[in-house]
Amino acid sequence: MRILHWFRKDLRLDDNTALAEAAHDSDHDVVPFYASDPAWFARPDMAATRVRFVLGALTELSASIAARGSKLALAHGDPAETVPRAARATGADAVYWNDEYEPALAARDDRVEAALRAAGVGVKRFHDRLLVPPGAVTTRTGGNYTVYTPFRRACEEVPIAEPHARVECLAPHELPSPRLATLERLGFAEPGSAAWPAGESHAHRRLQRFLGGTGREPGAGLARYASERDFPSVPATSQLSADLKFGTLGIRRLAHGVLAAAARDPRLAASADKYVQELRWRDFFAHVLWHHPHVEQGAFRPEFDRLRWTGTDADFAAWCEGRTGYPIVDAGMRELLATGLMHNRVRMVVASFLTKDLLLDWQRGERWFMTHLVDGDLASNNGGWQWAAGTGSDAAPWFRIFNPILQGMRFDASGRYVRQWCPELAKLPDAYVHRPWESPPLVLLEAGVTLGETYPLPRVDHAERRDQALAMYSAARAK
């Protein structure tokens, strides 16, 4: 029996559920196939940095498949046509793939499955990308969880599956394996951010570095995760979000890697526990989107669709470009443009600032993030924004408003992060680096800062906007 494995956002040979099952069921007669879907590239919020990441991951995948005596078959077009065509051309009895849970992708996959079945080709779909698939945990009354903590507790009762072995044996075949398209051919300009080394080997390298396996970076990553993951200038995070997004790393490989590291060194236990909890937020938001697809269009709680946002386009532009005059906010927004990532603590700060200081619709921020994040994921990004805006299922209370100065002083006390991304403030003393406008004129002079020229004056008064935001939210709830 021959099986076509349809690669999608699982661009790896290791710990790949559908691929491993296909290798098993077919006795290693697996044809590897990637269908590039024009609808995906054409999404209005698609980011060039993500397209580039996918192309990089495909390049490596294609090479490692070639090294195993096969080749990655490629087709460009609607998968409902290209997948059945590829199955027919290669004489496959069945097509296997790992499921996606975004409503549009799930609907597309249903169409592909129907087309395959109509053509007499079998289909098997697998859960792969989450620790716990949607629908696998239910509340006592049979509903789905909308609050994180009970969700997490329920998920903790479900054992994390063992990673699947890397598939080493793939079948030779006659399907076309054209050269990969380039960014330009796909209609994207080279992004301004530096490229993330993409592909399975880079993902594993990042994982090993996070776990401290190289030994070259003492105290790197996991060892500091529990205590320092909230400090944006400290490299205590895994940097694996894009690898999880595009499947260059399997979630079981990651989770078991972290847990095994903690088993070897008990000092890592707290960090490992915390890290898995953060992975469960990713699961949580995927489940919320699956069960409540309306969150893609608006607030989880409909009363918050009535919020009357009063911020201006000029405010939005200042936020996007990192010139609000609040250093921690500007640093984060510039990090996003320069790297395609932003530290999670800072994501919360800039999201609070957009909604509650600039009084701008969280959906504008959501879209901006999607068009610039290399790890941009509908469920996680939407969930994060709804959390910050207070409109979500298990959101921060709407009246929880971050003070960007206090957040800066608490999580970037040394100012290292702000100085990295706002170098024009580098010479300001720690005491003023998060509030340059309160700096004595002489101190500004010595630091070479001219407010309004070398660095913006604060665009809004935080205390004032805080009151306005509270009034805005109260009004929406009262109606």
Partner DNA sequence: TGAAATGTTGGGGCG
Partner DNA sequence: ACGCCCCAACATTTC
Interface residue with DNA, options 27, 139, 165, 399 (CB under 7 A):
399
Q: Please answer whether residues 62 and 198 qualify as being in contact, where contact means their C-beta atoms are separated by less than 8 angstroms.
A: no
Comparing CB distances to DNA, the nearer of 121 and 222 is 222
Catalytic residue IDs: 278, 281, 309, 344, 362, 385
Cβ nearer to DNA, comparing 98 with 237: 237
| Residue count of the chain | 479
Among 85-93, 259-267, 324-332, 406-414, which window interacts with DNA (CB under 7 A)? 406-414
281 binds DNA (CB under 7 A): yes
In whole angstroms, the minimum distance from the beta carbon of 167 to DNA comes to 34
362 is a contact residue toward DNA (CB under 7 A): no
Q: Does residue 478 interact with DNA by CB under 7 A?
A: no
Number of residues that bind DNA (CB under 7 A): 22
* Least CB distance to DNA at residue 470 (A): 4
For residue 463, state whether it binds DNA (rule: CB under 7 A). Answer: yes
- The reply on whether position 413 binds DNA by CB under 7 A is no
Of the candidate spans 46-54, 131-139, 323-331, 405-413, the one that interacts with DNA by CB under 7 A turns out to be 405-413
- How far apart CA 99 and CA 255 sit, in angstroms, is 19
Paired strand residues for 451: 455
* Stretch touching DNA by CB under 7 A, among 196-204, 264-272, 400-408, 422-430: 400-408
407 counts as binding DNA under rule CB under 7 A: yes
| 273 scored as a contact of DNA (CB under 7 A) | no
The binding track of 339-358 with respect to DNA, each residue x by CB under 7 A or -, is -----xx--x----------
Candidates 289, 295, 396, 428: give the one binding DNA (CB under 7 A): 396
Which positions from 31 to 70 touch DNA by CB under 7 A, shown as an x/- string? ----------------------------------------
Gap between the Cα atoms of 381 and 369, Å rounded = 8
Selected from 138, 227, 450, 474, the binder of DNA by CB under 7 A is 474
Q: Is 146 in the site for DNA (CB under 7 A)?
A: no
Which of the ranges 73-81, 245-253, 375-383, 460-468 carries the binding residues for DNA, by CB under 7 A?
460-468
Find tokens 């490989």 and name the residue.
Answer: 253
Nearer to DNA, 322 or 404 (CB): 404
Q: Does residue 403 touch DNA according to CB under 7 A?
A: yes
Nearest Cα to Cα of residue 432 among 418, 420, 421: 418
Nearer of residues 113 and 366 to DNA, judged by Cβ: 366
The sign of the CA dihedral 41, 42, 45, 48 is positive
Stretch of 116-124, 179-187, 403-411, 439-447 lying at the interface with DNA (CB under 7 A): 403-411
Rule CB under 7 A: say whether 278 interacts with DNA.
Answer: yes
Which residue type, as a one-letter code, is found at position 442?
L
Using CB under 7 A, pick the residue from 406, 431, 445, 475 that binds DNA: 406
Q: Is 118 in the site for DNA (CB under 7 A)?
A: no
Half-sphere exposure in the Cβ direction for 28 (13 Å, CA): 9
| Shortest distance, position 390 Cβ to DNA, whole Å | 11
* Type of residue at 253: R
Q: Which of 2, 256, 410, 427 binds DNA (CB under 7 A)?
A: 410
Residue nearer to DNA on the CB measure, 144 or 344: 344
Cβ distance 11 to 58 under 8 Å?
Answer: yes
Of positions 400, 446, 448, 450, contacts DNA by CB under 7 A: 400
Site for DNA in 228-247 (CB under 7 A): 230
Q: Enumerate binding residues for DNA (CB under 7 A).
A: 148, 230, 278, 281, 344-345, 348, 396-397, 399-403, 406-407, 410, 462-463, 466, 470, 474
